[in-house]
Amino acid sequence: MKYEPYRATSMINRLRHVDDWFWASYTVNPYRGCAHGCVYCDARANQYGLSEDFEETVFVKENAVEVLGKQLPRLKRGVVSTGGVCDSYQPIEQERRLTRKVVKALAGHQFPVEVLTKSDLVLRDLDLYAEASRQSWACVFFTITTFDEQIAGRFEPGASPPDRRLEAMRQVAGAGVVTGVAMMPLLPGISDDDRNIEDVISRVRDAGGQFVLAGGLTLKEGAQRQRYIGVLESHYPQVLPLYEQLYGSGFETRGSYGPQLLRRVREVCLQHGIADRMSRPVLPDDPLGLNKRIAERLFLRTYDLLLEEAESYRQWAYRKAAWAVDEMEEDVGDLYRQQGRKGLESIKGIGKGLSREIEGWLQSAEGTANDRLEVDHGQR
């Protein structure tokens, strides 16, 4: 393993639209490369511009805090996700403490922060996340796809074992910080069976997790696909025909496999009383809090339609409407009060049907504080 110093010119990446799974508006990666070396990692895919041996050489952005100090004062507050592409709590963090400094800088500027990790090293910084929770919002969540040690050892060789991640999650929950699990990617023929899904969900719920977000595997052309298929050839040759059938030469599963998997996860989440989506953080002083809640509902409808295998144009209609409401500079409640449904229909992508739906939601929020529109995340 090699570590190289790296001078970053920019540290914060602004997303074109809010991430409707994790609610991030920005991403920050203190490291480039990841020593966890997960076999399925799609950061290996060419699109991220990382080297194919990205688990052999990790670049350390030593000037991260200095650059953030210049960038943060110019940005609107929004959730910052750390380590979305390369795990922020990979082993080098023990010594360099770079993520700790980055989180401190973000919290110092009152930015809500979240981290998704496969390492229990994050517990070292629990004080920071607990403080950020009190000041604005923080979420520390973990990738756990299985508790089978052999599968985890083969596919996530450098990460903390799943039992330790779960124990870390229990402590995060105990500290009053939002937590849960990304159960992704569930690997076809390996970890996508009902027993495994139920095992993960029930243990996460028992440990105080608030949500389980599930997702399937993507197989992108090039290094990621080659590496993954190589492991299947060595250890799971019996599932290769299944992959041929599900993926062919594409990067996503074909047909109903994906929605069916997510429906099964939703069903088990319902049985265990845990959400299958993450609740969107809306800060109490956000003047556009109601817009965010309306957008959240529209995003949830998009997800429901995905699970229902509705036509893609219908899913896109809700997604585009959600983006439009989310990115408005004016309070959607004011617009409705002044102009009624016509006002709602003046928002890009919102026609008669959607304006009726939004009107119903606005009416249910009437008389409550402007971000009190309740959104149900898993008890449906």
Q: Give residues in contact with ligand SF4 (CB under 6 A).
A: 34, 36-38, 41, 43, 86-87, 118, 159
Determine the longest span between alpha carbons in the chain, in angstroms. Answer: 65
What's the min distance (Å) between Cβ of 34 and ligand SF4?
3
What's the min distance (Å) between Cβ of 154 and ligand SF4?
13
What's the min distance (Å) between Cβ of 102 and ligand SF4?
16
Residue nearer to ligand SF4 on the CB measure, 37 or 209: 37
- C-alpha 248: how far from its chain's center? 27
Are the C-beta atoms of 361 and 294 separated by less than 8 Å?
yes
Are the C-beta atoms of 6 and 59 separated by less than 8 Å?
yes
What does DSSP say about strands 31-32 and 57-61: parallel, antiparallel, or unpaired? antiparallel
176: left (phi over 0), alpha (psi -120 to 50) or beta: left
3-state SS, 92-115, equals HHHHHCHHHHHHHHHHHCCCCEEE
CA angle 35, 40, 41 (to 5 degrees): 50
Reduced to 3 states (helix: H, G, I; strand: E, B; else coil), residue 139 is strand
What does DSSP say about strands 80-82 and 212-216: parallel, antiparallel, or unpaired? unpaired
What's the min distance (Å) between Cβ of 175 and ligand SF4?
23
Residue nearer to ligand SF4 on the CB measure, 36 or 297: 36
What's the min distance (Å) between Cβ of 216 and ligand SF4?
14
Residue nearer to ligand SF4 on the CB measure, 100 or 266: 100
Residue nearer to ligand SF4 on the CB measure, 118 or 377: 118
Which residue spans within the chain are E strands per DSSP? 2-6, 12-14, 26-28, 31-32, 57-61, 80-82, 113-117, 138-143, 181-186, 212-216
What's the min distance (Å) between Cβ of 36 and ligand SF4?
4
What's the min distance (Å) between Cβ of 68 and ligand SF4?
21
Residue nearer to ligand SF4 on the CB measure, 82 or 370: 82
Residue nearer to ligand SF4 on the CB measure, 86 or 223: 86
Distance from C-alpha of 290 to C-alpha of 206, rounded to nearest angstrom: 32
Residue nearer to ligand SF4 on the CB measure, 228 or 336: 228
